[in-house]
Amino acid sequence: SYTTDTKSREENKKTLESLYSLSVDITKIRRLKEWVLLQDVAYVKEIAGILQEMGADEPTVANIIERCPEAILHTPAEINSQRALWQLVCQNEKQLIKLIEQFPESFFTTEYHQNQKANILFFQELGLKNNIITRFLTSAPNIFYNPVEKNKNVIETLQRNYLNLGGSEANMKIWILKLLSQNPFILLNTSTAIQENLEFLQKNDFTDQEVLQLLSKLKGFIFQLNSTTMHKSMLFSKNIFKCSDQELKQLVLKCPALLYYSVPVLEERLEGLLKEGISIAQIRETPTVLELTTQIVQYRIKKLSALGYDIKSGNLESLNGTKKDFEVTYGKIQSKKERPIFNPVAPLHIED
């Protein structure tokens, strides 16, 4: 119920004075959310007091208010309720204040308090550790805005499908918790969308075991797709690699990105590889190279070329993996190059 009509309103002098006394940079608030300064009622001192009670010093309080000015429009009762709620999953108030400083907007969204509480309790019952739940609260807060019934419904759909696909009852809990930890946003999907995507894979002759394998490899991202985009991506890959349906299936199992990325993304990445002199045959041999952005591929090729490694005649595996994986590969190639080729028992040729 806050107004954003700024033309006819004046800044609230009492709010300004309270902010000045806390050394808050008011120009930042004017630039970010000036409408906050125009409200008739604000709880600057009260909110600052609660944050200080939790252990925040003055610079921390100022930083929180500068980053999330609407914090001062919440009543002390609302913020104390939110504080009690987050304490259900935080080790102590020191950790809580650190989280509020890093993610003030997540903490000061109080409109969904009842849903947040019900979902926190549901996730705890499900077996998610508190540190994972705090990560969700800060990085994926909107999953807590859903009514808890909706999240339960999605989880039940996943559990049912996992068992129908041949997953074991014993492993189901671990599988669900891992899937959620990797990608909590699957909870923003509907049960119907999840069902449709799984049916699409089965219609394309993926066995139950292969569908399970894909779900684990895709970390749940498959549920954020739809059958139309998956169909287009698969068709694009089939034409580019000139392969049969069975061969395409094997490529997708090897590199689920062929299913996950849209056609424009795959086109751009493919083009980038071809420009570097890499052949379609090489890409087909190591399709996982399409998981890397064009910029990463260019950077890695440049580094390997500096060592005299010719990617055009070599294996694309050396480009693959995370930043850490690549650094290990690069280190091995570098040390191989620097190591002197010397056999102490071989006859010594002067021209060598």
Q: What is the pLDDT of residues 4-31, one digit of tens each?
A: 554 457 899 999 999 999 999 999 999 9
- Average pLDDT (231-258) is 92
Which of 148, 176, 151 minimizes the C-alpha distance to 161? Answer: 176
The pTM of this model reads 0.77
- Average pLDDT (84-92) is 94
Q: Summarize pLDDT for 259-276 with one digit per residue, the tens.
A: 889 999 999 999 999 998
Q: Summarize pLDDT for 58-79 with one digit per residue, the tens.
A: 999 999 999 999 999 999 999 9
- Average pLDDT (225-249) is 92
Q: Summarize pLDDT for 137-171 with one digit per residue, the tens.
A: 999 999 999 999 999 999 999 999 999 999 899 99
Rg of the chain taking only CA atoms, in angstroms: 27
Residue 342 has pLDDT above 60, yes or no: no
What is the DSSP secondary-structure string of 313-330? TS-GGGG-S-HHHHHHHH
Which of 270, 248, 272 minimizes the C-alpha distance to 259? Answer: 248
